Structure 1
Amino acid sequence: MSRTGRKLKLNDEDQKTLVATSRAHSADHRAVMRSKIILMLNEGYSYDSIKAELKVGREAISKWKKRYLESGLDGLKDAPRPGKTAIYTEEDKARVIQKACSKPEGGYSNWSQRRIAKEFGMSQSTVQNILKSHDLKPHKVECWCGKSTDPEFEEKMLNVVGLYMNPPENALVLSVDEKTQIQALDRSQPELPLRPGSAKRLTATYKRHGTGSLIAALSVHDGEITADTIDKNNAQNFLRFLKKIHRKYPKKQLHVIADNLNVHKHKDVKEWVDSKQRMTIHFTPTYSSWLNQIEIWFNIMSKDVLKGAV
């Protein structure tokens, strides 16, 4: 005779939950099967009938019946498993974190995962997981801009930003600076152009032709660039360039934004600018040359023109 065993008596709430789970398309397959076993037992089905219908073993039917009788619906959930014993303790992980946050020895500027792993006799992947779990990236460096020591920082900053945002009528705002030490390199062999399946190629060997410097003025509101190459970054070349842009825009009131480089404040420059009614120099605050828009243009030029070029 087929075994039926102890009959179940489901309360209405458990029966509704089990029926809903057994019919849910998104429910876990194991939860569906366990719900159907309990429901069929409740309806008086024999073990053999349940086995044939659900394709499960008699041991599984007996197990989930027993678990339900002991713990109700909670008994149909997976029991917690102990899992694999951890190889490294929390103290080991704390030492990895402390090492990653400390200054490296041996002249290194930063810790690599490989060197930390070697230090503690761990695998690199273990170190990577420990650091990742604490959102630590010792290989990355971010730069930040400290507070300017200029006591007139706010006044100068507002003056420069004001010229950008709301320039005076019939005025031209010119952002001026020098880009020095531009490497004049030539490759020892011709460049091989980009082709399908092959990147642009340059020889690793090159010829040095010294360095060059560029002085440039960006007309902030229309994007026009005026530039000259210079052999030296000195007051004479800066003054010569100011005279050039003064001649180039004869009918405009010129507001020149420059940083605090000594050549920009040379007495010859100051005397000449003071003698011109159409030109005024506005200096950025100390350690705040990033306020000068020409720096953005120099960065674009370095990326798009100088990098990887001849």
Structure 2
Amino acid sequence: MNPPYRDASGLPEEDRRLLQYWVAEGGSRAVRAAVVLLAAQGLRNAEIARRLEVSRQTVGNWRQRFDASGVAGLRERPRPGRPSIIDEAEVITRTVLAPDGGGASRAVARELGYSHAAVAAIRRRWRVTPGNATVPAVPTRPPLPQAEVWVLGLYLDTHRALLLVGTRPAAPERHHGASPGASPGAEVIAAVDAAVEAALTVPPSPAPGERRGQDRLAGYLAEARRRHPGASLHAITLWDTGEGGPSSQRCARGGVVHHALPVRTTWRTFLRAMVGLDCTRHPESSHRVYLDLAAALTHYADRPGIARERQPVRWLREPIATHFAGASRAGGEQRRESWGGANQIDLGSFNECVVIEAVRLAGTITRGEISHRTGLTQQSVSRISRSLLHRGILVEDDRRQATSGKPRTPVRLRGDAGHALGIHVDPEVLTAVVVDLDGAIVRSRTEPVAQTASPDQLVDHIARLGRGVLSAAGGAVRPGGFLGIGVATPGPVDVASGTVLDPPLLSVWRDVPLLYMLKDRFRCPIVMEKDSSAAAIGERWIGRNRRARDFVYLYLGTGVGAGLFLGGDIHRGVSANAGEFGQLCAVALERVDADGRPEILPECNPPVSIPETAARLGMVLGPRAAHDPREAHRVVSAAAGAGDPVAEKAVRQVAGAIGRGALSLVDLLDIDLVVLGGPFFTDGVADLYTAEISRIVNDFPTARRLRRVDVERSVLSREAAAVGAASTIFHATFTPRLAGRPAPTRR
């Protein structure tokens, strides 16, 4: 039974006013005051606990203290080993960044020194759980909409800092936990923290000029609306000195909703919590996004005095495609293509992948040979084979006569059991191919790139090209057998966010969220890879047994890249940008620019370097070739293939520079196979490249007495990157992997 308690008329007016002030003020005394005020209205403990989202024990405790000591009993009391003030954002940050199993309320409470009940209440109020299964409710003032929230920008000068976020209505399919590797980690948050701290040490400029500050913030908000047209924008003031008028008025004039920080947080912990929530819920919010923010803040702190006031931090992230509901196409054109839907080739076990890999490598193989090669029992192989035959992934071949016993019936992969679309984005051309499981090209199409096109126009071009090739191949693609789309792009790329960063020969593609823009146009799995890595995957898949070992794929396109197949899988590196070959060549040749940075070697751009080298050696290319690099390369290649000594010398010079980089790879990785391919590894120059690079990687390595390095032509066609891009879908679907070796993200 609840203890007797005075009704509202029994509370002295002075106490009531003080308790109401504590509730409005927030902080640790707000809940205690609310308990007493609600109890004064005659509510029972259970109802008070439900309304305030605290335990009944907490309610009873504070009622007893008030009964015994009045208002003084609700004031702070020193408690050894436990903080008197709880920062809610600190609890949220610790929850979302906790490793698996470490985000339980009790674990967070022990680490931070808070009570378990307080931590649980905070997490309920923010709607944040370790698995991140629900949409958080951020209790700013006024609260942010209960919707998906992205951190979009930060404005900071010497008088104020505003965090810009975007929201959209929560979609059920987006309610997922963090992807492996999606969390920013303590080191990224620490980098942002340190950068903000450095920015805060910047002294105010002696003559800031109020109107100028208003113009800067207004221009920033206008740019944010242009860059993120489909987002509902909200600006949260982290701090504000009041110079030049309140931030709320400026936001209102800019069409942005203004919010103050939650009561029980500091700006620093709130920023950390928002970064953590963004990264753990949205894979596109990668390390790079927040390292870019840290770099912008550091640059601000490092500028000399007066320039700091003139150039505030105006950081905005790149557009996030149409994650926001309002970013639809003008005129209401349907953007999503329903190709694929659900694919029917859903492999049920690791052993099924092992069997398919054995069949793929062998081409044609009996069940007994599969058992011998894989170590699986014959019963397991027979059971798995029957299932794969029934689902149409394998097909039986002609019987073989055995030396004893009954004839053996081999199996092989059924080529038309699955298809994928491969798209290669090159600075000069777009290539799309539909490929089957045997690597056969069903349909292909190549179109030139409009050099002046905007990113959105280029993505529309890619989508039209892909749809056209898929439509042309429609009859050959089995229902349920379309597995997805692979996209190969020049590096560097941010695979976590699906963003093409700043390819050196395609400036218009800087910070383009290509993967998500394509996801907005196609309703099927999409994998994105660097072009050289995609070509290496295609080589491995289509090369079968000939490529069942470690190798380096040198991709000769508009630039030279390296794809590394090591330890039975593609080696992507920490940022998925392994194989940046040009700088390696420059280091090997001791070619650096004035700043000491490795040069971007002209030799590592074959369609330009070969004609230029031939012209410098005295070869006349003709008027058409003078204006068309591809035509110039074709002319020199044809001449080299016909035995022209000048053309041969030009090709050998370029091959020599590439060979020096290949030598470094051979010595570093201790490999014995280098594969050459790509659109500019043509018949006229192929033998010259192969001979020159083979000479270098076999004559000069340190361990040349221990190995012979094979330098071979690619088994792929000139569409190597596009075929490889399609093969990334097969590789992700069928290649057996143990835990700890994740497949590329398929979105």
After TM superposition, the score normalised by the length of structure 2 is: 0.16
- Whose RCO is larger (CA < 8 A, sep 6+)? 1
Larger radius of gyration between Structure 1 and Structure 2: 1
